[in-house]
Structure 1
Amino acid sequence: MKKSLFVLAALAAAGAAQAQATDTLKKIKDSGSITLGVRESSGALSYTLGDGKYAGFHTEMALKIAADLQKQLGLAKLEIKQQPVTSQNRLPLVQNGTVDLECGSTTNNATRGKDVAFAVTTFVEEVRIAVKTASGITNIGQLTGKTVATTTGTTSVQTLRKHERANGVDFKEIFGKDHADSFLLLESGRADAFVMDGQILAGNISKSKNPADFKIVGEVLSVEPIACMLRKDDPAFKKAVDDSIKNQIKDGSLAKLYDKWFMQAIPPTNTKVGLPLSDATKSAWAAPNDKPMEDYAKK
């Protein structure tokens, strides 16, 4: 009996420790700071301007979320730290508490949902193929015998291989450490194609030396909901983040942010990505939800 009570006490203590570990609002209030996960080269969603400065649609949206959290917690001041993450380390850095809220270009899928939680979807992505304009490649079938680049830690090449039109297509994979590195593989000729989220492709093309040298081709490989990532089992923090996003949708500020980053000239090169708000993203905003990409595939 005593042994059973000891086990129960140990389990209760572990549960309390887990609850404390995932009380992000308390962590933010006690420390007076929040750490946002940002990306170096995730298109217009999140990217670096150099000198430790980050910008983009999701980066600016995250700053607004942080301001709303500061107000909710009654903090006179909130220090905002920006931690660059990669496709490889973003999940563990959220899980271990290094990053409180990652707003980059992460797809909400069932596998990741086992380890982290997601806020409501703020961008619906289409995975596409970028090639050099002079390559003559226009579809998946023409990738046979070619070298295809993607970024380590992403699912884009897996998505390509699973596409029904990729049946019998045999190509070599090559991996960049981040999206800028993957685009460089295409730009330098080491890869014949770069498979990735359409807006990341468009963003990297717009910032290249000669944007006309590249084009996005072929079929849409998959439709994926992109959302901010946070620790699991922290309903109060998730609600606070979701409420901020929903308010940004309701008051029109999120739409203004989208126009700013995707339809207007953006730094550092003052070029336009030129990607109008899609019907899929409009639908996600009209009925905010945190459904994983598997639910989109069922449509």
Structure 2
Amino acid sequence: MKKTLVLCLTVLLSLAAVCAFAGDGSWERVKKEGKLVIGLDDAFPPMGYRQADGKLVGFDIDAAEEVGKCLGVKIVWQPTAWEGVIHSLDAKKFDCIWNGMTITPERAKEVAFTKPYIMDGQIAVVNFKEKRFKGLKDLKGIKAGTQKGSSGLEAVKKLATPPKELKEYEDYPKALLDLEAGRIDVVVVDNVTGRDMIAKRPGKFKILPGMISKEPFGVAFRKDDNGLRGKVQQTLDKMVKDGSMAKISRKWFAEDITNPKKF
């Protein structure tokens, strides 16, 4: 009940913030410059990551590029360390954060989110041959790992039994390497990311049944940039209505997980 209440309050705050956008000049600035600079962690598949040839791909990449096309501006991607991503946004190193960022009450105090565009959640990934754990309730006395600054840190606290050790990594691939080597017992990771990684390495990892938490993804802007946030939100709403978001979702997830009616 508490989790549902927090989620509802977070979404309502996001909706209220979107409705409040005014002529603050943020959209006019981006339009004049002809580019929207977006901060991201470029090692976060399938939301945004580098292929072997260095090309940046992912669901968020395709969605943002489509928004840029609709708005008539170029999308410029600015990779940054996720741990300090909000600080970098406030320092005006980019215009927004678009990288599978979970909407939380804590983050909503620092940034202004769009409405959720995907409903994600945290899951527990273990070695494929792991036999000690059949479900989340079995995770006792474990060594857990997750990414620095991620919502996985909060999700770990929701486990029935706190881990005896929690290790924070620069990115999830490094955490999975330690999991594969047996240096940790479980990796707490975003559902979309975990499933993508597992699909690319069959027979190495598996997901324990159930979700630790449900979490909405939103695009984050500076508190004062209401005009820009409102313009992006209008475009996202249009893309949901005309099926553009569904098309991108099916490309990356084999199903539409962007329909707000299913959140």
TM-score for both structures, normalised by structure 1: 0.74
Aligned partner of residue 105 in structure 1, secondary structure: strand
Could you tell me how far apart the structure 1 residues matched to 2:135 and 2:155 are? 15
Unmatched tracts of structure 1, length 5 or more: 1-21, 71-77, 264-275, 288-295
Aligned partner of residue 248 in structure 2, secondary structure: helix
What is the CA-CA distance between 1:86 and the residue it aligns to? 3.4
Alignment partner of 2:149 out of 141, 153, 176: 153
Q: Does 1:236 align with 2:232?
A: no
Alignment partner of 2:172 out of 155, 159, 179: 179
- 1:191 maps to which residue? 184
Moved over 4 A (4+): none
Query: Does the C-alpha gap of structure 1 residues 49 and 170 become closer, same or farther in structure 2, counting only changes over 3 Å?
Result: closer
Report if the CA contact (8 A) 1:24-1:100 is conserved. Answer: no
User: Pairwise mapping of residues 101-116 of structure 1 onto structure 2 (< 5 A)?
Assistant: 101-116=96-111
Could you tell me how far apart the structure 1 residues matched to 2:33 and 2:168 are? 38
What is the CA-CA distance between 1:51 and the residue it aligns to? 4.8
Query: Does the C-alpha gap of structure 1 residues 244 and 184 become closer, same or farther in structure 2, counting only changes over 3 Å?
Result: same
- 1:255 maps to which residue? 246
- 2:13 maps to which residue? none
Report if the CA contact (8 A) 2:249-2:256 is conserved. Answer: yes
What is the CA-CA distance between 1:122 and the residue it aligns to? 0.9
Q: Does 1:89 align with 2:89?
A: no
What is the CA-CA distance between 1:186 and the residue it aligns to? 1.5
Aligned partner of residue 237 in structure 2, secondary structure: helix
Query: Does the C-alpha gap of structure 1 residues 32 and 222 become closer, same or farther in structure 2, counting only changes over 3 Å?
Result: same
Aligned partner of residue 126 in structure 1, secondary structure: strand
Count the aligned residue pairs: 240
What is the CA-CA distance between 1:114 and the residue it aligns to? 1.2
User: Pairwise mapping of residues 118-157 of structure 1 onto structure 2 (< 5 A)?
Assistant: 118-136=113-131, 137-157=133-153
Aligned partner of residue 220 in structure 1, secondary structure: coil
Aligned partner of residue 141 in structure 2, secondary structure: coil
Q: 1:185 corresponds to which letter in structure 2?
A: D
Unmatched tracts of structure 2, length 5 or more: 1-23
Higher Rg of the two aligned structures: 1
Alignment partner of 1:38 out of 36, 40, 51: 40
Could you tell me how far apart the structure 1 residues matched to 2:253 and 2:112 are? 27
- 1:267 maps to which residue? none
Q: Does 1:212 align with 2:203?
A: yes
Query: Does the C-alpha gap of structure 1 residues 32 and 228 become closer, same or farther in structure 2, counting only changes over 3 Å?
Result: same
Aligned partner of residue 194 in structure 1, secondary structure: strand
Could you tell me how far apart the structure 1 residues matched to 2:127 and 2:234 are? 42
What is the CA-CA distance between 1:52 and the residue it aligns to? 4.4
Query: Does the C-alpha gap of structure 1 residues 157 and 88 become closer, same or farther in structure 2, counting only changes over 3 Å?
Result: closer
Could you tell me how far apart the structure 2 residues matched to 1:181 and 1:23 are? 41
What is the CA-CA distance between 1:184 and the residue it aligns to? 2.0
Query: Does the C-alpha gap of structure 1 residues 80 and 51 become closer, same or farther in structure 2, counting only changes over 3 Å?
Result: farther
Listed one character per residue, the Cα deviations across residues 200-245 of structure 1 (whole Å, up to 9, x for unaligned) are: 111122223xx22211103311110001111112221111100110
What is the CA-CA distance between 1:147 and the residue it aligns to? 1.1
Report if the CA contact (8 A) 1:130-1:215 is conserved. Answer: yes
Q: Does 1:25 align with 2:27?
A: yes
RMSD: 2.2
